[in-house]
Amino acid sequence: MGAQFLAEPIEPVAGSIIADGMAAGEPGLPERFIWRGEEHCITQVLEKWADSRPDRGAD
């Protein structure tokens, strides 16, 4: 299966925010988060980009 966009909420684990890019205006990223009841850990950022379009997951 190829990459797909999932408009589902995640819950960042408290104290796990990576703030490296925030000084450059990028959002802080959670190093760990809860999704569908399971904890996941981000080990590598593969790609990042800026987009000013409205959120695709919005109703």
Q: 50 or 29: whose pLDDT is higher?
A: 29
HSE-CB of 24 using CA atoms within 13 angstroms: 6
Show the CA angle centred on residue 19, arms to residues 13 and 22, nearest 5°: 130
Residue 3's pLDDT band (boundaries 50, 70, 90)?
Answer: confident
Residue 59's pLDDT band (boundaries 50, 70, 90)?
Answer: low
How far apart CA 57 and CA 5 sit, in angstroms, is: 9
Q: Is residue 57 scored above 70 in pLDDT?
A: no
Residues 6 or more apart in contact with residue 54 via CB below 8 angstroms: none
The sign of the torsion formed by the CA atoms of 6, 7, 8, 10 equals positive
